[in-house]
Structure 1
Amino acid sequence: MNRGQSFLLLLIGIVALLTLFVILPFVEYVVASAILAYVLYPFHVRLSRWLRDRLAGHVRESVSTRLGRMLSGISLILASVVAVIIPLAYISWVFIRDLTEIARGNTEIDVSAIEAELAVLTGREIDVGEVLAMAGQLLVETLFGGVSGVVTTALRASVGLSLALFLVYYTLLDGPTFVGWIRDTSPLPAEVTADLVDRVDAMTRGVVIGHIAVALLQALVAGVGLWAAGVPNVVFWTFVMAVLALLPLIGAFFVWGPAAAYLVVVDQVTAGVLLALYGVFVIALVDNYARPIVIDQQAHLNPAVILLGVFGGIYSVGFTGLFVGPIVIGVLAATLETFREDYDAIGGG
């Protein structure tokens, strides 16, 4: 390696570190935009082709292709805002509102009934309301840095979401060009690069799309059960279950299980028993059957590996680490598998 190449590599390393430093405050939203663009891209391909065909008779082919891609990107972003961003913002607002109320000691839970039952079981008086308030304060402090941090978090989220939507638009338009550039600049043989890209694509599809679909399905099914059983703050607990359901081997049981016990404690025995049966025979089936079918068959990752990636990702980059962690581990697995199959075969030959 000559001096020119060494200098160029050093310059690339320095600029890469500076770029990481610049985007680090919004790295969660950059990752979120990449995930959303990945999910939307198949729809973008179909919609842009349809729009191109509609415009073909009115403008030149090159113009109709470009306009079709632009209109498709804008349409999908607007659809995402209506179908994803607004509902998620509403659910997040309800979650924050209920969490701050719990932190202040205000809750719709029948605390006195729980305290009476615990006194009978343990022979001691336990201030459940104080415990819930302390737990709420701890969550508010951990998630937002205190009640005053909620506003700061909301403002930062607004800026981050605006940035993410712009990134989604340009990723939809230029994503294939970027993938093509990776293929062209890869030092690996063309067939090895293609094999690696296909493996990473299948793994990412399984982790991202399957992860989200199974978690949302399980949370919605469980939320219907909570609503039918008369559990208070259903939207709040459904949001919590949607997050917990992203964690394999844990799932939504940590919500519907205690909720069933709570109903029994407050003398709603029938509702509590029915909710428990619903959880065992309906909610648990979603996790036990849908997750292996949707995720494992495509990602080929053990649930324990996914769990490790989820917790490590959350600790490293925040909420989007739910997906980043398993994807990073999956990319490592795909790379190792590609090396084993392609280069072992080459070496053996």
Structure 2
Amino acid sequence: MNRGQSFLLLLIGSVAILTLYVINPFVEYVIASAILAYVLYPFHVRLSRRFRRSLAGRVRRSLANRLGNMLSALLLILSAIVAVILPLAYISWVFVRDLTEIARGNTDIDVAAIEGEIASLTGEQVEVGEVLATAGQVLANTLFGGVGGIVTTAIRASVGLSLALFLVYYTLLDGPAFVRWLRLTSPLPSNVTADLVDRVDAMTRGVVIGHIVVALLQALVAGLGLWAVGIPNVVFWTFVMAVLALVPLVGAFFVWGPAAAYLVAIDEVAAGVFLAVYGVLVIAMVDNYARPIVIDQQAHLNPAVILLGVFGGIYAIGFTGLFVGPIVIGVLAATLETFREDYDVI
């Protein structure tokens, strides 16, 4: 390596470090925008093709292509705002409100009935209210840096969300060109680069659709059951189930199972039995049938690894880490698998 190449590599490394430093406050939103654009891109391809066809003959072909891509990207972003971002913002607000109340020791759960039932069964007096408050404080500290950091997090999230929408727009427009540039710039042989890109694509699709979407679907179905039987703080417990549901078969049970027992403990036996039956016949079936259908068979990731990515991501960068963490680990797994197979590493 000559002096010029050494200087260029040093310059690239220095600028890369400075770039990471600049985007670090919003790195989770940058990654989240890439994930959202990745999910929306197949729809963008079909929609932009329709727009181009409708504009063909009215304007020049090159202009029709640009307008078709722009209109498709704008329409998809507006659809994402209405279908995803606004509902998620409302759910987040309710979740933060419930979490704040729980962390302060205020909850609509009949704590006295639970403590009395535990005392009658074990002979021990357990302060359930203090346990819930401590758990709420730990969760608030992990997600927002404490109850006092919620306002700061909300302001930062608003700015980050605006940035993410702009990034999604330009990623939809220029994403394919960026992937082509990566393929051409990669120092790896073309066949290894193609193999790596295919593996990362399959792994990301399997993680996002096969694990996270199924977990969110199962949590929503379970949340409807909790709401139907009158469990308080439904949004809070639905969020907890969304994380736990990443563990197949038994994840969400750790919430709806105790909830059914709680209803029986406070003499609402019919509601408790209904929730238990609903959990076995409906909630569990979502996991048993939906997960094998939607998981890409090329993306083999152990659920324990997914769960580690979820908790690590949440702890590292907050709520967005729920999605970012598993994908980062999935990309690492795809890279290691490519290295093992293409370079004959035993």
TM-score, normalized by the shorter chain, greater than 0.5: yes
**Structure 2 vs 1, CA of residues 133 and 190 (structure 1 numbering), >3 Å: closer, same or farther?**
closer
Amino acid at match of 1:25: P
**Structure 2 vs 1, CA of residues 143 and 12 (structure 1 numbering), >3 Å: closer, same or farther?**
same
**Structure 2 vs 1, CA of residues 320 and 144 (structure 1 numbering), >3 Å: closer, same or farther?**
closer
Q: Deviations over 1:210-244 (max 9, x none)?
A: 22320121012212221232222323322332233
SS in 1 for 2:297: helix
SS in 2 for 1:298: coil
Q: After the TM superposition, which residues 142-291 of structure 1 pair with which residues of structure 2 at under 5 Å, given as runs? A: 142-248=142-248, 251-291=251-291
**In 2, Cα distance between the equivalents of 1:195 and 1:120?**
61
SS in 2 for 1:184: helix
**In 1, Cα distance between the equivalents of 2:111 and 2:341?**
60
Deviation, structure 1 residue 6: 0.3
**In 2, Cα distance between the equivalents of 1:46 and 1:84?**
20
Q: After the TM superposition, which residues 1-349 of structure 1 pair with which residues of structure 2 at under 5 Å, given as runs? A: 1-248=1-248, 251-295=251-295, 297-344=297-344
Amino acid at match of 1:229: V
Instruction: Give 5+ residue unaligned stretches, structure 1.
Output: none
Deviation, structure 1 residue 105: 3.1
**In 1, Cα distance between the equivalents of 2:332 and 2:130?**
46
**In 2, Cα distance between the equivalents of 1:302 and 1:236?**
27
Q: Deviations over 1:72-129 (max 9, x none)?
A: 1111111111111100010011111112222333322122322322332243544433
After superposing the two structures, state which structure 1 stretch, 232-241 or 25-34, moved more.
Answer: 232-241
TM-score where L is the length of structure 1: 0.91
**Structure 2 vs 1, CA of residues 192 and 264 (structure 1 numbering), >3 Å: closer, same or farther?**
same
TM-score where L is the length of structure 2: 0.91
Contact 2:95 2:236 in 1 (8 A): yes
SS in 2 for 1:283: helix
**In 1, Cα distance between the equivalents of 2:186 and 2:129?**
59
Instruction: Give 5+ residue unaligned stretches, structure 2.
Output: none
Deviation, structure 1 residue 15: 0.4
SS in 1 for 2:184: helix
**Structure 2 vs 1, CA of residues 124 and 198 (structure 1 numbering), >3 Å: closer, same or farther?**
closer
After superposing the two structures, state which structure 1 stretch, 305-314 or 48-57, moved more.
Answer: 305-314
**Structure 2 vs 1, CA of residues 298 and 198 (structure 1 numbering), >3 Å: closer, same or farther?**
same
Q: Deviations over 1:233-277 (max 9, x none)?
A: 323322332233245576222211111111111011232123223
After superposing the two structures, state which structure 1 stretch, 205-214 or 143-152, moved more.
Answer: 143-152
Aligned residues: 345
**In 2, Cα distance between the equivalents of 1:139 and 1:300?**
30
Deviation, structure 1 residue 296: 5.8
Q: Deviations over 1:173-229 (max 9, x none)?
A: 111011000111122232222222112111111111222320121012212221232
Deviation, structure 1 residue 311: 3.2
Amino acid at match of 1:226: L
Contact 1:28 1:319 in 2 (8 A): no
Contact 1:108 1:232 in 2 (8 A): yes
Q: Percent sequence identity over matched residues?
A: 82
**Structure 2 vs 1, CA of residues 307 and 123 (structure 1 numbering), >3 Å: closer, same or farther?**
closer
Q: Deviations over 1:117-162 (max 9, x none)?
A: 2332243544433433343334333332333321111111101101
SS in 1 for 2:106: coil
